Chains A and B, each alone.
Chain A
Amino acid sequence: SQTIHQWPATLVQPVGSPLSLECTVEGTSNPNLYWYRQAAGRGLQLLFYSVGIGQISSEVPQNLSASRPQDRQFILSSKKLLLSDSGFYLCAWSVEGSRYGYTFGSGTRLTVV
């Protein structure tokens, strides 16, 4: 069966520090991968999605970047965190076409102090 792993679960980082969040998927090949952010009291904001290795689409201009170095690995990064980067980050995967739905990871709570 397919599983998705996301870590760390919680992270407290100072302003200006770098960020690296990792997401990996098991049990499937060539998944579509997604990074979402939930700010406090707000809905889901799509940050990046990827349909293949090295293929990244950015939905919102921001302080973050994403990379897909391997088929089932998706990384969210920042060189210098801002206070506004605080939030709950969710990784998700789907098969091509998304008609079967997304499967989400358990999320990372990032607090920038």
Chain B
Amino acid sequence: AQSVTQLGSHVSVSEGALVLLRCNYSSSVPPYLFWYVQYPNQGLQLLLKYTSAATLVKGINGFEAEFKKSETSFHLTKPSAHMRDAAEYFCAVTRSTGNQFYFGTGTSLTVIP
């Protein structure tokens, strides 16, 4: 079975500070991992994905994530937060032969000016 755990339902950072959103996964087979962003009253937009190629994945809007098998983690980072990064972020896992995603409960990011 697959699942993800997002540590911290709310994260606040100052504008210009490092953003770190945590995601740990559980999977009985090699996983595919994703980060999505959701702005208020909008659908989810794919930020980046890991599909067993490079372990450091670069996404849109300056975000990146590193797959660490030994730690079963896929944390999302951005060196310098912008006001426009304020949103809800979801981590998700699936497997190569599956048809379903398993989403985390989400992390709400607040950027303080």
Ordered by A's residue number, 29 sampled pairs between the chains whose C-beta atoms are within 8 Å are A42-B105, A43-B103, A43-B104, A43-B105, A44-B103, A44-B106, A46-B101, A49-B100, A88-B41, A90-B43, A90-B44, A92-B43, A97-B96, A97-B97, A98-B32, A98-B94, A98-B98, A98-B99, A99-B94, A100-B49, A101-B34, A101-B46, A102-B44, A102-B92, A103-B46, A104-B36, A104-B43, A106-B42, A107-B43
- Report the minimum CB–CB distance from A26 to chain B (whole Å): 16
Taking residues whose C-beta sits less than 8 angstroms from the other chain, chain A's interface range is 20 to 34
Distance of A104 Cα from B49 Cα, bound (Å): 15
Chain A 20-51 per-residue mask, 1 if CB under 8 angstroms from chain B, else 0? 00000000000010000000001110100101
Q: Is A94 positioned at the interface, with any CB of B under 8 Å from its CB?
A: yes
Assess the B45–A51 pair: CB atoms within 8 A.
Answer: no
Complex CA–CA separation, A43 to B103 (angstroms): 8
For chain A, residues 70 to 113, give those with C-beta under 8 angstroms from any C-beta of chain B: 88, 90, 92, 94, 96-107, 109
* B99 in contact with A96 (CB, 8 Å): yes
Q: In the complex, which residue of chain A has the Cβ closest to the Cβ of B96? A: A99
Question: Once the chains are docked, how many angstroms separate the CA of A73 from the CA of B49?
Answer: 27
Q: Hey, what's the 0/1 contact readout for B59-96 against A, CB within 8 Å counting as 1?
A: 00000000000000000000000000000001010101
Contact A32 B96, CB 8 Å, known A90-B44, A99-B51:
no
The interface residues of chain A lying within 8 Å CB-to-CB of B42 are 106-107
Q: Which of B49, B96, B104, B105 contacts A101 (CB 8 A)?
A: B49
List residues of chain B with CB within 8 A of the CB of A97. Answer: 96-99
